[in-house]
Amino acid sequence: MSSEIEAGGLWGLARSLRAGKKNKPKFTNCQNCKTALTGRYCHECGQLADDFQRPIWSLVAEGVSDFLSLDGRLWRTLPQLLLRPGRITRHYIDGKRASHVPPFRLYLVASLLFFTTFFVVGASGDDVENLFNLAPNAAKACEEARAEIKEDPEAAAKWEEICENPEAIESKELSVDDLNFGEGMEAYSQLVTENINILLKEPQRFWLLVQNWAPRIAFLLLPFMVIGLGVLYPFKRGVYLYDHVVLSLHFLTMLFILMTVSFVLPKFLSEIFVFVLIFYPFIYLYRTLRVVFDSGRITSFLRAFIMWCGSFIVTIFLVVVTIATVTITA
């Protein structure tokens, strides 16, 4: 799991533990900048006026109290976020913020849950290892092909050449000569080839590298979406980059939550839930554009369609970037 995500999660936890509301300031002046205090937080530097020197159960009680407060906001936020597209986004942009979880915090938690669930109950290193077992799969395919083409002697003869040594298929595909990147790139070609061979021999290492890089690269979805919205709404009166950021955070949070749910559902339900993953995000985006930017039906549909097609292209691009990064850094 990405160290950046873990750091963000720990930072959020630390903030919640520091936020006890029942204790009055213990100092008259800020211990950091010596400014006279008018409340629990210094209005000059923002430091909390607390030394935390009290029994551990008091600190735990404060943490539980703050968690329940956050939990209340969370249960007010999630149903509206998932079922009423654009409503919370519009409220947040208009200034109604105290009753809902902030967009970035919600996005951070949702992405953390998604990647944790994906790497724990989704795909695993064993799945990757099975995927990399090319020779056994090739041998099995050869046996199936023999049975299907036994009535065609000419085709059977050609197939027998391949089936004589299925291991040669992967070694041939991974030769340095085949990975020709042009003149002056022999060293780079050699490096990539060696790394691919290492990853094929150690699938678990490949999976660990994917776990390390995927969360970092996935965060690029946010700026891509913000840029896309900026292109689609270049001269919309009263619409600013801030609005695009809030909308993108809420949309990606919804997407992470849906994908997390798909991993934990039983198999028969997850197969049905695939249709939700395919169609609901587009409907959600369409409704969000209508509510947040007050766009017409046709223009909202066209913009949502362009964003949806662009998201597929960007996702494929990021997958390729992830694989390339893993290959180069193996």
- Among 53-62, 84-93, 142-151, 290-299, the range scoring the smallest mean pLDDT is 142-151
* Statement: residue 17 has pLDDT above 50: no
Structure tokens at 32: 């950091």
Cβ neighbours, 10 Å, residue 210: 19
Q: What are phi and psi of 285, to 5 degrees?
A: -65, -40
Q: 3-state DSSP call for residue 1?
A: coil
Separation CA 215–CA 322 (nearest Å): 10
48 - beta bridge partners?
41
**pLDDT tens-digit series, residues 218-247:** 788 899 999 999 999 988 888 899 999 999
Euclidean distance between the first and the last CA atom of the chain, given in angstroms as a whole number: 17
- CA 37 from chain centre, in angstroms, equals 41
Looking at residue 19, its pLDDT comes to 45
Find the angle CA(311)-CA(313)-CA(319) to the nearest 5 degrees.
100
Please say whether the beta carbons of 215 and 111 come within 8 A. Answer: yes
Calculate the average pLDDT of the chain. Answer: 73
Separation CA 100–CA 112 (nearest Å): 19
Looking at residue 289, its pLDDT comes to 94
Residue 172 confidence class, pLDDT cut points 50, 70, 90: very low
* Statement: residue 22 has pLDDT above 70: no
- The single-letter code of the amino acid at 58 is S
Looking at residue 35, its pLDDT comes to 86
State what percent of residues in the chain have pLDDT above 70: 57
Longest dimension (CA), the chain: 95
Residue pointed to by tokens 């020709």: 180
Cβ neighbours, 10 Å, residue 232: 19
Separation CA 214–CA 15 (nearest Å): 27
Separation CA 101–CA 73 (nearest Å): 6
DSSP string, 121-162: HSS-HHHHHHHH-HHHHHHHHHHHHHHHHTT-HHHHHHHHHH
Please say whether the beta carbons of 117 and 260 come within 8 A. Answer: yes
Domain extent listing, the chain: 1-84, 102-132+185-330
Residue pointed to by tokens 């995000």: 281
Instruction: Write down the pTM of the prediction.
Output: 0.62
Structure tokens at 217: 């690269």
**pLDDT tens-digit series, residues 298-326:** 999 999 999 989 888 888 887 777 777 66
Structure tokens at 260: 């997390």
- b/e map 312-324, b = 16+ CB within 10 Å: eebeeebeeebee
Element containing residue 20 per DSSP (H, E): none
At what angle are helices 56-83 and 241-264 packed, to 10 degrees? Answer: 100
Residue 61 confidence class, pLDDT cut points 50, 70, 90: low
